[in-house]
Chains A and B, each alone.
Chain A
């Protein structure tokens, strides 16, 4: 009940901010989402509500639908998730320094920097120099691609950037807990700047091969305001090599 009240208060606060805040405009008269943003959630450990285990703090998860906060897996997919969880120390693709996929790139514990041009929006992550190009020029998904980070096509709905992401492979996870998907994954993201320093992020996730119904995550991204804050580098594979060479891995 208390959690429910807190959620409702937070929601009311968000709605109020949304009602009063209007994002500045870019050169191209788009709502300006530019800046360096970062999630504060530990959804990268698990997107579901979870108890702490060694190396993972407890968390409420980021799933807002279904209301129980759990991924609506098909039975076989649930079994696979459980096996993944057991093998997570070696099987997590991000642990192998692979591309993180979408939406995971958004809530990795690394900053993101957004740049806007007339026909596309570039989202750069500090994690292994991943970047996404979100085309907003009316083009359609490329046929037949299977990208780790998917193929992103966006459009503006008022001040909200809506991004349709398809063309995934089945090689990425949603988090370190083995939550997974097939190559039928389809993600629709919504980005709304609700305050000067808050970028509201939602993603609806569907994959009939893996889930019984679509589900949805929501989390805020926060603007970095430290002076001269920059994306630096986390060149995971280079450090992995060093660790293998010096025998620590």
Chain B
């Protein structure tokens, strides 16, 4: 991978924005709730990730680990679900840097985040005037559930006591204990929140609290507070497909809980490995991003020390 591209989330974000401006991402209906065998990811014209999103012959059944739980290990890709990587909610009209798309919201049925009035206004303002605050631009981890539909893929590792998800993008990871332990103490706030998981049949249910308020739900200004509570459900469908849904509850921002759903598709490229993805090491060009993608407010960060 080109070193300079890999070294800069900025460059990637700008590139993606450009691609979308030229060619809106393909639409994909979110999987029906509880549906089996989903559609298996239509090819996204944006072309992210390891080439997993092509139509394939039906995969075999998923295998199991020695403890009897489904084995979901492998490389997965979840980008390009109705353009959720850009905007998680329904965005029927293309706007600056974001092609039209349905997003990934399945409840409410209209696909829009049920914001409280002030919050709806704030989200719009963030998009219009404060894209310089876009968290990934600052190399922040993406938070939950946003992390699960960022560009590039991720690897799932399972042990007797944990599920780990490790992304190529900004080398983010989530460590999810599955051994019944409780959440960490209230008052600790993390970009990725604190996740604990448990099995309900073949579904891994992940409960996330302790988030901070520095991440967005996407790259378009949709946001949450540090009170957000997310419950995710990962249900393998076959060896190459996982149904994913997340219920997002934050009474300080939304009028009611809302839900996203889409699929993880296995990366089947032979010998696939994730590369190293630097971000802060090369992140010095916030000004151009702000000017190109829009943002009336001034850049507030300086280059890292010694790189002026």
Contacts and interface: CB of A to CB of B under 8 A. Distances in A.
Interface string A3-35: 000000000000000000000001100000010
B108 interface: no
Nearest to B3: A146
B175 A113 contact: yes
A148 B275 contact: no
A91 interface: yes
B166 A238 contact: no
Contacts of A34: 159
Given A235-B141, A235-B191, A139 B271 contact: yes
A64 B177 CA distance: 37
B138 A241 contact: yes
Nearest to A117: B157
B305 interface: yes
B95 interface: no
B274 A124 contact: no
A41 interface: no
A27 B171 contact: no
B276 interface: yes
Most buried by B among A133, A142, A236, A245: A133
Interface stretch (A52-60, A187-195, A225-233): A225-233
Given A228-B184, A230-B175, A133 B274 contact: yes
B94 interface: no
Contacts of A142: 273
Contacts of B157: 115, 117, 120, 122
Interface stretch (A65-73, A93-101, A198-206): A93-101
Interface residues of A, number: 44
Nearest to B300: A245
A238 B181 CA distance: 29
Given A129-B173, A139-B271, 16 more contacts: A34-B159, A97-B304, A99-B171, A99-B281, A117-B157, A122-B157, A122-B164, A122-B166, A133-B166, A133-B274, A148-B276, A228-B181, A230-B184, A235-B141, A238-B140, A238-B214
B301 A98 contact: no
Contacts of B273: 133, 135, 142
Interface of B: 3, 65-66, 73, 138-141, 155, 157-160, 162, 164, 166, 170-173, 175, 177, 181-182, 184, 188, 190-192, 194, 214, 271, 273-276, 278, 280-281, 300-302, 304-307
29 contacts: A27-B66, A90-B306, A95-B305, A96-B307, A98-B280, A99-B276, A99-B281, A115-B159, A122-B164, A124-B166, A128-B280, A133-B274, A139-B271, A146-B3, A147-B276, A148-B281, A171-B281, A228-B181, A228-B182, A228-B184, A232-B184, A232-B188, A233-B141, A233-B190, A236-B280, A237-B138, A238-B191, A240-B304, A241-B300
Contact of A26 (B3, B159, B182, B300): B159
Interface string A139-154: 1001001111100000
A196 to B, nearest CB: 16
Given A113-B175, A232-B184, A131 B191 contact: no
Contacts of A128: 280
Interface in A92-133: 95-99, 113, 115-117, 120, 122, 124, 128-131, 133
A147 to B, nearest CB: 4
Contacts of A2: none
Closest 6 CB pairs of A and B: A147-B276, A237-B280, A96-B304, A90-B305, A98-B281, A233-B190
A145 B7 CA distance: 13
A244 interface: yes
Contacts of B166: 122, 124, 131, 133
B91 to A, nearest CB: 28
Contact of A233 (B159, B192, B306): B192
B68 to A, nearest CB: 12
A149 B65 contact: no
Most buried by B among A124, A171, A231: A124
B169 to A, nearest CB: 11
A129 B184 contact: no
Nearest to A151: B276
A233 B170 CA distance: 14
A243 to B, nearest CB: 11
A27 B159 contact: yes
A115 B191 CA distance: 22
Nearest to B164: A115
